[in-house]
Amino acid sequence: MLENFHFLQPLWIIGLVLPLLWLLFAKKKQLVLPKLIRQGKVRYPALELIAFETHDKYNSSSFSRSNFTPVIFLTMLVLSLMQPVKYGQTLPADAEPDPVDLILVVNTSVSMTLKDYMLDGQQLDRMAMTRLSLLKLVSEFKGQHISMVILGRPSSIWLPLTTDFSLVKKMIERIKTTLGGRSSDIAETLTLIQKQFSVENPKSLISPGNTSSQKIVMLASDGYEQLGALSPESAVKQLLQNGFNLHALAIGSVKQPEFSLGKGHLIYQPVDLNLMSRLAEIGHGNMEHVKNLTAIDRVIENLESPAIEKIVENRKLIISLYQYPLTLALILLLIMLLPMSLTGFPGRRARF
């Protein structure tokens, strides 16, 4: 039964020395003071609460009830400061997901014009499939904020972190190929993200109250024609060291489709699954090859996995009990402050 009781501030137990000291002083018939102090006489009204005299002896050798009133008052006051609680019924376990900031990185290089998707009898290019995939991802995402970055050469921030997911969808629909140039540079883009979304950056795009959120970069690309002095693998390692995780959406087919790619397009380049998988592995994330929109369901499952959730189990209802000793202490204080005619406990004036 006693295992259900607990003190939230047990260190206040050292305060119980106060009633013990009171008992020691109250047992003495006379309080011996230093010689210099005994020569003066001081009247202090607040000392009327103290039930001992410096020179007068008690009329009785046994303690009266008024002697124990301050002792009980101090004891109850200390108990209330220790904040006693009682554990009640066990609450059902649930999952509390960590706040997640999702940064969508979209490749807009010329290779995204390749038409190697067929959806509902309609031929789609990689950019159109990317837009459909991201729209579904945003619709089912349960995180805090979403941002968008254009993967090109040069790269750019398309949309800062926002909670307005309807705005995110509108910006996704406006993305088109060659928006960031004909080629792409993953390393440059990830370096831009590291600088712009870093907590250390005074002009960071992360709000001050959002520094504890988990930051996930979702790279949607076919991995085609990577330029730049820094390798994508090195950029992902730096990103990981700064608290970012990277997931990858591999866009495109691994082989040339049987249906026509249309006129005026590039020589067919398959999606680079090796590169995308390697980047996701370095970034402690997952890679999904988007063959159809069902791949987004697996992406959502990865984002909501127990790896980014805190499972709260064995929680119990906490019932505070501090008000009971505190109430009793206040009642005793009121008794000590009331006139002698109401309580029957005489107050003594200390003189020294």
CA distance linking residue 136 with residue 148, whole number of Å: 15
∠ Cα 42 48 54 (to 5°): 55
Residues 339 and 287 in one domain: no
- Residue 148, judged by CB atoms within 10 A of its CB (0-12, 13-18, 19+), counts as buried
- Residue 229 in any domain: the answer is yes
Domain holding 22, by residue range, is 2-90+317-343
CA distance linking residue 134 with residue 25, whole number of Å: 78
Would you say the C-alpha torsion 5, 11, 15, 17 has a positive or negative sign? positive
- Residue 349 in any domain: the answer is no
The pLDDT of residue 126 is: 94
Q: How many separate domains does the chain show?
A: 2
CB 139 within 8 A of CB 170: no
The pair of three-digit structure tokens given for residue 314, joined into one six-digit string? 């064995």
Q: What crossing angle do the helices spanning 126-140 and 294-303 adopt, rounded to 10°?
A: 40
Residues 292 and 256 in one domain: yes
What is the CATH number for 174? Answer: 3.40.50.410
The pLDDT of residue 166 is: 95
Residues in contact with 62: Cβ distance below 8 Å, sequence separation at least 6, in sequence order: none
- Residue 141 in any domain: the answer is yes
The pLDDT of residue 204 is: 54
Kind and range of the H or E run holding 307: none
Instruction: Report phi then psi at 268, rounded to 5.
Output: -60, 135
Residues 115 and 261 in one domain: yes
Residues 274 and 226 in one domain: yes
Residues 188 and 286 in one domain: yes
- Residue 350 in any domain: the answer is no
Cα–Cα distances in angstroms (integers) from residue 271 to residues 41, 246, 251, in the given order: 97, 18, 6
Residues of the chain short of pLDDT 50, as ranges, are 29-42, 44, 46-47, 50-63, 208, 306-312, 341, 345-352
CA distance linking residue 276 with residue 55, whole number of Å: 91
Residues 78 and 154 in one domain: no
Residues 75 and 176 in one domain: no
The pLDDT of residue 89 is: 72
Tokens 């046994």, residue located: 62
CB 219 within 8 A of CB 268: no
CA distance linking residue 277 with residue 217, whole number of Å: 14
DSSP codes of every residue in 79-124: HHHT-EEEEEEEEPPEEEEPPEEEEEEEE-SGGGG---EEETTEEE
Residues 237 and 165 in one domain: yes
- Could you give the 3-state DSSP secondary structure of residue 30? coil
